[in-house]
Amino acid sequence: MTEPLLGRMVGLPSSPEEAELDRVPNPHPDVTYLARFTAPEFTSLCPVTGQPDFAHIVIDYAPDEWLVESKSLKLYLGAFRNHGAFHEDCTVAIAKRLIATLKPRWLRIGGYWYPRGGIPIDVFFQAGELPPGVWVPEQGVAPYRGRG
C-alpha cells in the first residue's frame, strides 16, 4: 500500500484508474451507521463529443471495517474531469471502486446529471441490503425541472 494522500501535497490524478483511493479503519465497527458524501460539482467528459458533463453525486454507505478517506475521494472524483465516459458508466464505476476498496455493509449512489441533448439522465445504484435500523435521509436532490 502506498503512503496515504492525507497530509501530502498532491495534484489531481490524470484518470480515475490512476487515482489512489485511501481507506482508514472505522473507529466504530460495532455500530451500523450511515456516512454520506455529496459532490455537487462533479464533472466528466462526453466520450463522443468531448464536451463537459455535470452532475450532483450523492454517495451513501454503511461502513463495516473501513471508511473512505475524504481527501482521496475528492481527488478520485476530480480525476473524472478529463475522463470520457457516459453518465451510467461514471456513476456505476464510482460505486464499484468504493465497494472494492471498502467492502461496506451497504452502499448506494445517486448520479443526478444535468441535461445532455435536452434530456437529463439520473443514474442510481445500490449494493447490498440496507441494514435494519439505519436512518437514510432522502438524497436531497430535486428532479431536474428546467425553467419551469
Q: What positions carry a catalytic annotation?
A: 46, 53
- Angstrom distance (rounded) from CA 127 to CA 35: 15
92: cell is 456505476
- Angstrom distance (rounded) from CA 136 to CA 138: 7
Which string of DSSP letters, residue by residue, matches 17-77? TT----EEE-S-TTS---EEEEEEEEEEE-TTT--EEEEEEEEEEE-SSEEE-HHHHHHHH
